């Protein structure tokens, strides 16, 4: 094998990632709903790419847990059961509180400035009616928090959890009163991190996830088993 055998066309990789993100955002925003079958031919027409790019993107999204492939049915947008969501939020609370404490105690001033800017962007997005913009702003905030924590293994684990819970995020944030509470919780997290108060940052992160969990689980509890998000 020579060195050229390992080369990957940059354009191909970029296209695959772009297709992944298009489908991921469609799932996150509710365009593709839990339980919905994803037909390759239809995706090709919607996105304007070939089947190879669609298949590669679907494989990646299946690895993230956003898609489940069933024999004789093909790829379907994953659903989250009550029990799965409950377990997911518990693990996320542990990891995110750790990340918040680490950022408060060890994060750089640049990291904290980025977190503060992301929190402001989320506040501004909350004043608009575009759910996609809101989700993107919230995701950016969590990304800054994970980066600021400085632990790449925690970031990897949290990214997988976030990819799964994103399906529920629109649901939880659009429940009556939840968005305003979420904004206040985010402000408390940022304030604790700016004050370099690790334990308070950890507690604020944990509380934020617990409140999001409570809202999402209450929603799931009301759904018939076959329609869980």
Kindly list the domain boundaries of the chain, sorted by start residue.
3-77, 82-227
Alpha-carbon distance 200 to 189, whole Å? 8
Given a cut of 50, the residues of the chain with pLDDT beneath it are 1, 4, 6, 8, 227
pLDDT of residue 226: 53
Which CATH architecture describes the domain 3-77?
Answer: Orthogonal Bundle (1.10)
- Among residues 78, 60, 74, 62, which one has the least CA distance to residue 168? 78
Alpha-carbon distance 129 to 15, whole Å? 30
Q: Which two tokens stand for residue 146?
A: 């994970």
Q: Which two tokens stand for residue 157?
A: 């684990």
pLDDT of residue 155: 94
Q: What is the CATH number of domain 82-227?
A: 1.20.120.530
Alpha-carbon distance 95 to 98, whole Å? 5
> pLDDT tens, 160-176?
888 788 777 766 776 77
Q: Which two tokens stand for residue 110?
A: 């640049």
Half-sphere exposure for 32 (CA within 13 Å, toward CB) = 23
pLDDT of residue 222: 82
């Amino acid at each position: 094998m020579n060195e050229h055998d390992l080369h990957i066309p940059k354009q191909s990789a970029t296209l695959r990632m772009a297709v992944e993100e298009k489908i991921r955002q469609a799932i996150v925003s509710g365009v593709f709903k839990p339980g919905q079958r994803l037909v390759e031919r239809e995706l090709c027409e919607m996105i304007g790419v070939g089947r190879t790019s669609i298949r590669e993107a679907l494989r990646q999204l299946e690895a993230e847990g956003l898609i489940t492939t069933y024999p004789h049915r093909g790829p379907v947008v994953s659903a989250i059961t009550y029990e799965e969501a409950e377990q997911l939020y518990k693990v996320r609370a542990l990891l995110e509180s750790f990340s918040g404490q680490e950022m408060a105690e060890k994060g750089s001033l640049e990291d904290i400035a980025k977190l503060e800017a992301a929190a402001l962007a989320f506040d501004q997005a909350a004043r608009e009616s575009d759910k996609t913009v809101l989700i993107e702003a919230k995701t950016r905030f969590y990304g800054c928090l994970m980066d600021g924590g400085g632990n790449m293994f925690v970031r990897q684990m949290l990214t997988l959890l976030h990819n799964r819970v994103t399906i529920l995020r629109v649901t939880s944030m659009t429940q009556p009163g939840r968005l305003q509470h979420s904004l206040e919780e985010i402000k408390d997290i940022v304030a604790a991190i700016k004050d370099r108060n690790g334990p308070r940052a950890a507690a604020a992160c944990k509380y934020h996830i617990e409140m999001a969990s409570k809202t999402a689980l209450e929603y799931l509890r009301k759904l018939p088993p076959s329609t869980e998000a």
